[in-house]
């Protein structure tokens, strides 16, 4: 097979130079048209080039991948001008990883910031906030982090300088410890994805918010000013405001906006705009500012109170049963035998917190979790050395992580952050669902977050390995999974719907795929049979008792066979006609 080097111009992508392997035989008439993947119009050189689609379940049509790790090819390029329809296909193939970019050398495309989810973290920086931050920063290649802000909570506040404080850990942990370690491993991280922000970029986002006392929102701070500016700027993206501590710094920003426009004719329009733009992801309500101020003054801001996820990610205490965190098949991922070698390692991972690891947060006398001598006297009884301790604030950002089925605009849909349900419409408050249907058809408490543990933990471990792995080829990277039918398919009761998927792995690992029904995501209340046919194909028979307007959610899941198996997904909703 000859490699034809092609420059794809006018592609809305930061990197224009792509390399594909193109068989020199074949014509347009051989290209499959029934999958919704290929356009009807091709460019002038397509027949001679014999461009074939990468469709995983058709043997005869295969596009090989050739990632070139040198820019030397840029000096001798063949030029092919594709039609507008072809550009749509190229972009989809690029998204799937089926066309490989020559630059940058490590991982292909660089994600434009304007396409990333936009978020701000507010944190009281206790022990479990630190552990969550260690995880979170490994995902900053996929998120546009525009603020990391110290705030107070009912558990931690700094006082007003008169010597009175409560378990306050200071305002230098992020800068002096976490980002210093991040800077040390940053060269390795960007080998695996050049979209990682520089240490300087992250440092510029760190601000001090309202920290004096629990719930204090009496005055503007650098942190509240930053949030205010982001809410009022021209960026049309949703701003996801993560509250790892109290919501008081967020509340102060909103109050400043309210006061600024109180006598303005723009008051109603500004309030409406901010209410659409802001989403608060609360790791519990750790002060009273939501109830006292945000809910009554900004009732149309969507707020997700997702502390129910603590059952998965909160403090893991010995209640006489030992370490029983997680589903039985996933218990390993919460043990010291797994965490010590895979997470709490290397110059960055060593900052992670686990049971009896010898570490503590300065200024917090109750953080004795790392001390083998005194831990037994604490409020949360110890488990074994390096067993999982707590990452409670994962609940605030897991819904934002890129998995293929993430959709933070619709909390009813599931994913690594679990599913939520609307508790009240005014104020617009959502809470996590209590239970979901497990693989045995049984309603199980906490399953909405526990069902993903193997995938979540392996992904974390793979990224932690990136921190100590300078060569891209020596790391594991997630596969791409795509349902070719699109996001929705329509059918009538009794009809058989045939589904097809495309799966690709950037490391050429074997990817094991499976199709399954996500019962609670659909409005059809019963189970449906999903029959797999191999080659990423499946069929679903719409039940005869399904009613028009109901939906059935089907997930395509792909897991590679890397040392830390990585999983991605896609979703299709079958709409009953």
Over residues 391-437, the pLDDT tens digits come to 999 999 999 999 999 999 999 999 999 999 999 999 999 999 999 99
Provide the 3-class DSSP secondary structure of residue 280: strand
Q: What is the pLDDT of residues 336-393, one digit of tens each?
A: 999 999 999 999 999 999 999 999 999 999 999 999 999 999 999 999 999 999 999 9
Q: In 261-385, which residue ranges form alpha helices assigned H by DSSP?
A: 267-277, 289, 295-297, 310-313, 336-342, 346-349
Binned at pLDDT 50, 70 and 90, residue 161 comes out as: confident
pLDDT at 199 over 80: yes
The region of weakest confidence among 60-69, 175-184, 238-247, 392-401 is 60-69
Separation of alpha carbons 94 and 6, rounded Å: 14
CA-closest candidate to residue 16, choices 142, 85, 103, 88: 103
What was the pLDDT predicted at 224? 98
Residue 456, φ and ψ in degrees, nearest 5: -65, -45
CA distance 27 to 245: 61
Inform me whether the pLDDT recorded for 7 exceeds 90. no
Q: What is the pLDDT of residue 272?
A: 96
Q: b/e map of 155-165 (b: 16 or more CB within 10 Å)?
A: bbbbeeeeeeb
Q: Are 576 and 523 in contact (CB under 8 A)?
A: no
Q: Name the pLDDT band for 63 (thresholds 50, 70, 90).
A: very low
Q: What is the pLDDT of residue 97?
A: 47
Given a cut of 60, whether residue 96 has pLDDT beyond it is no
* pLDDT tens readout for residues 366-379: 999 999 999 999 99
Residue 53 has pLDDT above 70, yes or no: no
Q: How far apart are CA 569 and CA 481, in angstroms?
A: 6
DSSP helix/strand/coil, 125: coil
Report how far residue 513's alpha carbon sits from residue 458's, in angstroms, rounded to the nearest whole number: 17
CA distance 539 to 542: 10
Q: Residue 305 — very low, low, confident or very high, per pLDDT cuts 50/70/90?
A: very high
pTM, entire model? 0.84
Contact between residue 495 and residue 542 where contact means Cβ atoms under 8 Å apart: yes
Mean pLDDT of 236-260: 98
pLDDT above 90 coverage of the chain, percent = 78
Q: Give the residue from 318, 331, 324 showing the smallest Cα distance to 375.
A: 318
Supply the pLDDT for residue 111. 56
Mean pLDDT, residues 139-144: 98
Whether pLDDT at 95 is above 80: no
450 pLDDT higher than 60: yes
Average pLDDT of the chain is: 85
What does the alpha-carbon distance between residue 489 and residue 469 come to, in Å, rounded to a whole number? Answer: 42
Look at phi and psi of residue 163 and say left if phi exceeds 0, alpha if psi is from -120 to 50, else beta: left
**pLDDT exceeds cutoff 80 at 251:** yes
pLDDT surpasses 80 at 65: no
Cα distances from 60 to residues 51, 534, 538, in angstroms, run 12, 16, 19
In residues, how long is the chain?
577
């Amino acid at each position: 097979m000859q490699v034809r080097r092609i420059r794809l111009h006018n592609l809305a992508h930061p990197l224009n130079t792509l390399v594909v392997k193109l068989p020199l035989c074949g014509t347009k008439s051989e290209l499959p048209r029934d999958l919704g993947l290929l356009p009807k119009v091709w460019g002038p050189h397509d027949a001679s080039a014999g461009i074939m689609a990468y469709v995983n379940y058709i043997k005869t049509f295969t596009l090989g991948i050739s990632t070139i790790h040198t820019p030397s090819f840029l000096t001798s390029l063949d030029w092919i001008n594709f039609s507008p329809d072809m550009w749509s296909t190229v972009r989809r193939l690029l998204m799937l990883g089926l066309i490989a970019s020559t630059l940058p050398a490590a991982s292909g495309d660089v994600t434009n910031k304007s396409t990333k989810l936009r978020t701000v973290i507010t944190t009281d920086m206790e022990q479990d906030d630190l552990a969550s931050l260690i995880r979170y920063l490994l995902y900053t290649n996929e998120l546009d982090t525009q603020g990391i802000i110290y705030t107070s909570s009912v558990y931690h506040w700094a006082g007003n300088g008169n010597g009175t404080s409560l378990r306050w850990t200071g305002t230098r942990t992020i800068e002096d410890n976490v980002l210093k370690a991040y800077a040390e491993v940053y060269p390795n991280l960007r080998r695996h994805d050049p979209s990682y922000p520089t240490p300087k970029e992250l440092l510029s986002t760190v601000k001090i918010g309202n920290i004096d006392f629990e719930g204090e929102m009496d005055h503007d701070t650098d942190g509240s000013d930053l949030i205010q500016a982001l809410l009022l700027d021209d960026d049309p993206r949703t701003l996801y405001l993560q509250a790892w501590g109290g919501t008081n710094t967020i509340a102060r920003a909103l109050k400043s906006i309210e006061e600024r426009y109180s006598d303005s004719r723009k008051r109603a329009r500004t309030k409406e705009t901010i209410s659409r733009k802001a989403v608060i992801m609360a790791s519990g309500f750790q002060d009273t500012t939501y109830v006292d101020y945000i809910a009554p003054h900004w009732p149309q801001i969507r707020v997700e109170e997702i502390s129910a996820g603590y059952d998965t990610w909160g403090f893991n205490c010995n209640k006489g049963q030992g370490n029983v965190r997680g589903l039985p098949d996933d218990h390993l991922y919460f043990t010291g035998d797994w965490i010590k070698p895979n997470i709490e390692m290397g110059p960055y991972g060593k900052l992670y917190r686990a049971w009896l690891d010898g570490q503590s947060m300065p200024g917090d006398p109750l953080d004795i979790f790392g001390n083998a001598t005194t831990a037994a006297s604490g409020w949360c009884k110890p488990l074994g050395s390096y067993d999982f301790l707590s990452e409670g604030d994962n609940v605030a950002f897991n819904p934002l992580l890129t998995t293929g089925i993430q959709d933070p605009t619709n909390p009813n849909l599931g994913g690594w952050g679990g599913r939520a349900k609307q508790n009240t419409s005014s104020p617009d408050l959502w809470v996590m669902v209590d239970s979901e249907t497990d693989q045995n058809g049984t309603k199980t408490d906490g399953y909405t977050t526990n069902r993903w543990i193997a995938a979540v933990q392996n992904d974390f471990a793979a990224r932690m390995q990136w921190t100590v792995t300078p060569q891209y080829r020596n790391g594991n990277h997630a596969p791409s999974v795509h349902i070719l039918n699109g996001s929705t398919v329509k059918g009538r009761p009794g009809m058989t719907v045939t589904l097809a998927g495309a799966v690709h792995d950037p490391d050429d690992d074997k990817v094991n795929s499976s199709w399954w029904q996500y019962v609670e995501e659909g409005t059809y209340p019963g189970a449906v049979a999903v029959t797999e046919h191999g080659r990423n194909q499946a069929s679903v028979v719409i039940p005869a008792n399904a009613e028009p307007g109901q939906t059935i959610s089907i997930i395509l899941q792909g897991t590679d066979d890397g040392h830390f198996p990585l999983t991605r997904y896609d979703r299709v909703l079958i709409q009953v006609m």
